[in-house]
Structure 1
Amino acid sequence: MFELLKGITVLDLSTVVFGPFASQMLADFGADVIKIESPDGDIFRAAAPARSPRMGAGYLNLNRNKRSLSLDLKSAEGRAMLDRLVADADVFLHNMRPKAIERLDLGYERLAALNERLIYCAAVGFGSDGPYANDPAYDDVIQSMTGFASMNIDPAAEPQLLPTILTDKVAGLYALAGILGALLSRERTGRGMAVEAAMFESLASFMLVEHLSGHVFEPAEGTLRYDRLTSPHRRPHRTADGYIAALPYSTRHWVKFLRLIGRNDLADADWVCDASRRSERIGELYAVLAEATPARTSAEWLTEFRRLDIPCGPVNRLEDLLDDPHLAAVDFFQRVDHPTEGAINTVRQPLRFLGAPSHTDIPAPRLGVDGRKVLHEYGMDDATIDNLVAAGALYLPQEHDSSHE
């Protein structure tokens, strides 16, 4: 973790992937992220595999460098305690639907009255002004609604979901950008603000950067898709012993490749050497590439493409990433000794800040494990804390209670 956001306190009420993905990056940048969970904990804690209850692998990989405080926000005492934290916080992040946040009386207007410098980020499924605002939203639904599934079809022409939690992570990046932008604005104005990051709008924007295509113009010119990406020959290419990825992209790339395979007729063709005309017929060139690659092994092609400086790479399995020499060289995988889970592997923050002070990452916390320490920092004594535990407003793990480890 770095010290870029040292001194910034984030109250993170979010669960699953969307919000925690954004707040983990804030924590990696040095913010003090206090993960505020119900006594049942973030539901993603239960996602298998796990060595012990509430400490699943996905949770461990999304919540490093955070502290856990477990409050019952349905109780008046729990909400009053949260108000005390809000008064001194810099960022408040949640991923509840509008009606749920209203029931808890945790809307922006009330919290801003407690702290006018507060950056309030609502990480929601759908923008609050639209008809879907209170609909539940998960990755599978948003991938389908934004066109990903319909464009990612299998050989039987059935829509398919991408096998990753795409929406949450893309929207998490938008939420992170919004929070950082709002923090910078606050430095200039002294005032906080509300930020809304919506899954549906985020992924639709992400999808339409290139696929809005001819509909950028009014009236529309052409299709609502970027044709290069929808060519049936744009895929990993079969070789004599497997598959490779190769992408001749520029004129120089295509001319070198076409001369390599003896297609001087195409290498000298005017339309191939003109980027605009080539883009209109790119499917023809992809077909030539697909026809050529079975003649040599993957290793032979990769050697040739790299010699010609044509973008290429092997078609890896996920297992291959664990032994990838580049990832090993940049220390991408980190082994951490977790205080309760033993040795675990995780991936480091991919951003690097040269010259910035950094520290060893802190493993993801057990549910509520930092509660007493956090509340001490806010001026509460042990007697007050114990009373809150007795009232059910605060959950603190007990060493003998293995179900909460």
Structure 2
Amino acid sequence: MRTLRAQVTAILVVAVLVVIALANGASFFIARPNWPPFGSRGSATAILDAVALATAVPPDAQVPILRASPPSGMIDEMETQRLAEALARLGQPHPVRAVLPPGGEPRVTAVGLPDGRWLILSGTGMPTPPPGPPGGAMGFAVWLAFMILGVTGVVILAVHRLTRPLALVEEAARRIGPDGELPVLPERGPTEVRAAAAAINRLSARLKASMDSRMRIVAGAAHDLRTPLTRMRLRAEFIPDEEERGQWLSDLAELDRIADSAIRLVREEVEGGTLETVRIDRLAADVAMELKEIGLDVALLAGVPAYVAGRPLSLKRAVRNLAVNAATHGASLGGGARLAVSADAERVVLVIEDDGPGIPEALMGQVFEPFFRVDPARQVKIPGAGLGLAIANEIIGRHGGRLTLSNRPGGGLLQRVELPVAEAGQGADD
């Protein structure tokens, strides 16, 4: 009942049923103004008129409705009391009995006269109630059920047609892929649905054009930096002071890393291609071995056969970035990086932890922003452009996974990668 469609349907069904009930009640009272009887005054007056006429009849007259005793049968106590109270309110409390004769005959009313005789009247003088619905209570229940089902069905169809544009927007949002692009919707159906689909398609096209333009600008700027950096590196080689030359070459190397990282980030955002079955535990082992060869302390502590669908080079780049991040920061405090791979029926989990300084909790929400560094003054003690986590997060997100970071209770950072298990199970990698 939390969806707009369910709420509108419930409101309309209740409103229609209330209107039907009020209309049926109004028509019932208009067709039968004398029902139900709201008092017994009319009935008591009619009885008193009959008593006045019967009193004038001589005692020795043979009149069928005048008897020496009331008729036999079961007495209707409720009706008898009602008639007695009505006669008492009119100031003439005659003895009265409402009798149900044996044999299923109609009910009669017996009224005692002052001379001891009893006046026998058919019925009670009350208006006859209207006939009930065909089939009694069961027939009424069936009629009510059909009416509720019919009204509900019509309302559901009407609300479904009215809310189709909203459902179209919801479906488009659900179908947004890891690359953030909106799907192209078919522009068919009623006018409102076609208008909603056309608006979503225009929005998708404009967003894609804006993202492509941004990517081209970043890639072009990073690429154009390569030429002046190369010229500056050549000039720096001719600086006679060795210490100053080393500082120039170090700064130029950092600029080169920034440009290279920017190009890689753009490439990950626009890269496509077919997916392959990748064995993550072997990929993590390869990364650990490569980083060990260049002097970084990286170890694979645990690994089980785990398969994901993805692009091997991109996944390897993401794992390498995370492992380098852990190894370099862990080395600053005399530690290293430790990798572990586990898997269940639905997901593959890669955990990378280190013994470094961690990340302040206040900055944890900014770690995936491009060029993010914990040190706001950018006093770079550890080489890097601040794009490693951004690139890794982009790659993992495009593979339908999730990257989360948290500080370890004993110190250091824990990087957790979750990826969906490949549907095909073992692949050609075996």
TM-score of Structure 1 vs Structure 2, range by shorter chain:
under 0.3
| Greater RCO structure (CA 8 Å; 6+ sep) | 1
TM-score, normalised relative to structure 2? 0.20
* TM-score (norm: length of structure 1): 0.21
